[in-house]
A = this chain, B = another copy of it.
Amino acid sequence: MATIKDVARIAGVSASTASRALHDSDMISEATKERVRRAMEELDYSPNYSAQNLVNRTTNTIGIVLPVRESQDSLGNNPFFMQIIQGISSVCSENDYMVNLASGRTDDELRKNCQALIRSGNISKFIFLYSRKDDPVFDFVKKQKKVSCVVVGSSYEKKTQKSVQFVDNDNYQAGRDVADFMLKKGYEHLVFAYTDMNELVQTERYQGCSDYLKEQQKEGLSLSFSRVKEEENILKLQTFLANHPKTQAFIACDDIMAIRLQRLFKNSRLHKNYAVISFNNSLITEIANPALTSVDIFPYQLGEKAAQLLLEKSKKSKVQKVIIPHKIIERESTKIDEL
Residues of A at under 8 Å CB distance from B? 1, 44, 46-50, 53-54, 59, 61, 64, 66, 69, 75-77, 79, 81-83, 85-86, 89-90, 93, 96, 98-105, 109, 112-113, 115-117, 119-122, 256, 259-260, 262-263, 266-267, 283-284, 287-289
Contact = CB atoms under 8 A, between A and B. Distances in A.
B98 A103 contact: no
A37 to B, nearest CB: 14
A266 B332 CA distance: 14
Given A89-B103, A90-B103, A109-B93, A49 B120 contact: yes
A48 B123 CA distance: 12
Contacts of A262: 289
A259 B83 CA distance: 22
A101 B101 contact: yes
A34 B83 CA distance: 41
Contact of A82 (B48, B75, B99): B75
Contact of A76 (B48, B96, B263, B283): B283
A306 B327 CA distance: 39
27 contacts: A44-B112, A47-B120, A49-B121, A50-B121, A50-B122, A61-B100, A75-B86, A76-B283, A77-B283, A79-B283, A85-B101, A89-B102, A93-B113, A96-B116, A98-B100, A98-B116, A98-B120, A99-B100, A99-B103, A256-B287, A259-B284, A262-B289, A263-B287, A263-B288, A263-B289, A267-B289, A284-B284
A266 B89 CA distance: 41
Contacts of A89: 66, 101-104
Q: Which of A66, A101, A121 has the most CB of B within 10 A?
A: A101
A41 to B, nearest CB: 10
A46 B101 contact: no
A100 B103 contact: no
A15 B1 CA distance: 37
Q: Which of A93, A96, A256 has the most CB of B within 10 A?
A: A93
Contacts of A50: 53-54, 59, 120-122
Given A49-B121, A79-B79, A289-B289, A66 B93 contact: no
Nearest to A264: B289
The 8 closest A-B pairs by CB, nearest first: A49-B120, A89-B103, A263-B289, A46-B116, A99-B101, A259-B287, A76-B283, A93-B113
Nearest to A94: B109
Contact of A112 (B1, B46, B54): B46
A86 B105 CA distance: 9
A173 B60 CA distance: 45
A99 B98 CA distance: 11
A119 B47 CA distance: 8
A143 to B, nearest CB: 15
A8 B69 CA distance: 33
A51 to B, nearest CB: 9
A224 to B, nearest CB: 17
B69 A90 contact: yes
